[in-house]
Amino acid sequence: MMPGSETVRRRIGGVLLLGVCLCLPLSAEAEIFKYRGADDSIHFTDKPMRGDYRLLWRSGKKKSRNSGRSMARMRENRAKVTPLIERVAKQLRLHPGLLHAVVRVESAYNPKAVSKKGAQGLMQLMPATADRYGVSDSYDPQQNLQGGAQYLKDLLKLFEFDIKLALAAYNAGENAVFKYGNRIPPYPETQNYVKKVLNEFERNRLAMLN
């Protein structure tokens, strides 16, 4: 082998890879794999094969096979619980768009959802919160919504109807909000949660006006 042949081969491989990438449509999903042959030669392919292959480059976002089904299931679940959400919201004098927003962010309308921390159901009630509001079955949509909505209403009253603080407390607990002087706690999860729910609420509110 000539001195520096490996370096030359790598440079050639890099040029070939760049050429392949430039030839691909920008909007298409594509992958480039590199293979080193038994004679130390370098090959490129857009499909993984047997041998010493390695993923070098990927373009576009790979769609999940289940994403379409998940969205369809969420829309189906939303349709089922919408009458219940509207009834509970009217009873507690809450905007139904707000309850929809919390349920969407918390569980994506899945009545059987369980978080890593043990929160359960549509509004992701922790066992202690469920007991506090008389929810014996957190997977029952009626009980879960009733208990979760009442908890949210109590938090709104507690924080003088400051919706941001109420949502922060729903996510992190009222003591966390008290700890930081009645401000949203500096927890990334809680701050993102408040933003997501408010964005959903605004979207729902505008949709209901049309």
The candidate with the shortest Cα–Cα distance to 105, out of 205, 183, 208, 199, is: 199
Q: Are strands 30-36 and 42-45 parallel, antiparallel or unpaired?
A: antiparallel
**The dihedral of CA 185, 189, 190, 195: what is its sign?**
positive
184 neighbors 177 (Cβ within 8 angstroms): yes
User: CA 114 to CA 25: how far, in whole Å?
Assistant: 41
105 neighbors 197 (Cβ within 8 angstroms): yes
Residues near 194 by beta carbon (within 8 Å), at least 6 away in sequence: 164, 167, 168, 171, 184
**Of 29, 86, 106, 200, which one is the catalytic site residue?**
106
Strand order of the β-sheet with 53-59 is 42-45, 30-36, 53-59
* Residue 106 annotated in active site: yes
Cα 153 to chain centroid, rounded: 25
Q: What residue has token string 């809450």? A: 94
The candidate with the shortest Cα–Cα distance to 148, out of 105, 182, 191, is: 105
Q: What residue has token string 């008389």? A: 134
Q: Which residues are catalytic?
A: 106
